[in-house]
Amino acid sequence: MSGMTLRLTDLAHGGGCGCKLAPSVLQELLSKQSAAGPFSQLLVGTETGDDAAVWQIDDNQCIIATTDFFMPMVDDPRDFGRIAAANAISDVYAMGGRPVMALAILGMPLGKLPVEAVRAILEGGASVCAEAGIPVAGGHSIDSPEPIYGLAVIGLAKPQNVRRNSGAKPGDALILTKAIGVGIYSAAFKKRALPDDAYEELMTTTTLLNRIGQTLGENSEVHAITDVTGFGILGHALEVARGSGVGIEIEFDKIPFLARTKALAESGFVTGASGRNWMSYGHDVVLPDDFPEWQKALLTDPQTSGGLLVACGADQADDILSQIEGAGYPMARIIGSIASGAPQVRIL
């Protein structure tokens, strides 16, 4: 931003969905909570670590509610706002829903950032909400040591269109709608090693709305959906495996990656969250013999505003993939399949 010399990322100890608590820590915190209790209308709570909560109003309508916020992974305030908003709205799409309204969540270190920078963050978020067709109807702000921005988002869906991360069936195909590598790109950006063309690629993928999720929720052949964010492709695939009581097989060579991801990972541009992710769930992952560490880092790489992971009937997978590609997701790929057996992920 013109006139702004302080880097936003210098004000934060982490950035994007790499700020998430490690999966094992989150699981421990939530292990003794039972969200549903006597509330039969709460269709989705904390049971399987799904993307949003779902409350059934009546036979024809459900409310989807979610919140997501984090610290900056880029320095341009408007870009930060755009990424954070797209990431938050994604949770509604991942449930098969249609977003209808957002509330802003803002924490800023007063005296460290100029007012125009904070305004640009809010404007960036509002621009993505406008693209999604929803208003930012209010929000809340605080003075905080590090810059924080995100949204609480409300959506709607018919009960039969709600898609959880726990509906995958043996024999299903597994589709990923966006390329992996956002965390690695952000690590390189933090160290001023990300080329301009790669930054543009980063912005293109992180601000691409996952609106295809609403369409997928209307397809009975789509059995499970989740979005891939801070726990990496392995962590979110494991959530599907555990919630559905199935095994997952992923073909490494079929995973789409951002153009410079592999070269940057080999050069050591890996986030701290990647290692925390592996420590949390590596015991439930089977890797090929002599699998390189840098390739493992690709699989644990925390994504911000990542793609949707979709389990669908194998007979319809090619048609569903074509539909996704035609809707504006050129990096979408069939990357694996659902198998019977213990809840784990096997990389082939």
Q: What is the pLDDT confidence band of residue 279, given thresholds at 50, 70 and 90?
A: very high
Q: pLDDT at residue 124 above 70?
A: yes
Q: What is the pLDDT of residue 2?
A: 43
What one-character-per-residue DSSP string does 219-266 give? -TTEEEEEE--TTHHHHHHHHHHHHHT-EEEE-GGGS-B-TTHHHHHH
Six-digit token pair at 53?
């909560």
Give the CATH number of domain 173-347; options: 3.40.50.2300, 3.90.1010.10, 3.20.20.80, 3.90.650.10. 3.90.650.10
Q: What is the pLDDT of residue 51?
A: 87
C-alpha span between 281 and 216 (Å, rounded)? 28
Selection from 51, 49, 44 nearest residue 68 by Cα: 51
Six-digit token pair at 183?
């965390």
Which architecture does CATH list for 8-161? 2-Layer Sandwich (3.30)
What one-character-per-residue DSSP string does 273-335 give? HHHHHHHHHGGGEE--TT--HHHHHHHHPPPSS--EEEEE-GGGHHHHHHHHHHTT-TT-EEE
C-alpha span between 11 and 125 (Å, rounded)? 19
pLDDT tens column, 281-309: 999 999 999 999 999 999 999 999 999 99
Averaged pLDDT for residues 312-318: 98
pLDDT tens column, 52-99: 999 999 999 999 999 999 999 999 999 999 999 999 999 999 999 999
Which one is catalytic: 17, 19, 62, 312? 17
The β-bridge partners of 105 are 140, 150
Our measurement of the distance from residue 101's CA atom to the centroid of its chain's CA atoms, rounded to an integer in Å, reads: 19
pLDDT over 70 percentage in the chain: 91
Q: Within the chain, which residue ranges are assigned CATH 3.90.650.10?
A: 173-347
Q: What is the pLDDT confidence band of residue 1, given thresholds at 50, 70 and 90?
A: very low
Helix-strand-coil percent breakdown of the chain, rounded to 5?
40, 25, 35
Residue 17 among the catalytic residues: yes
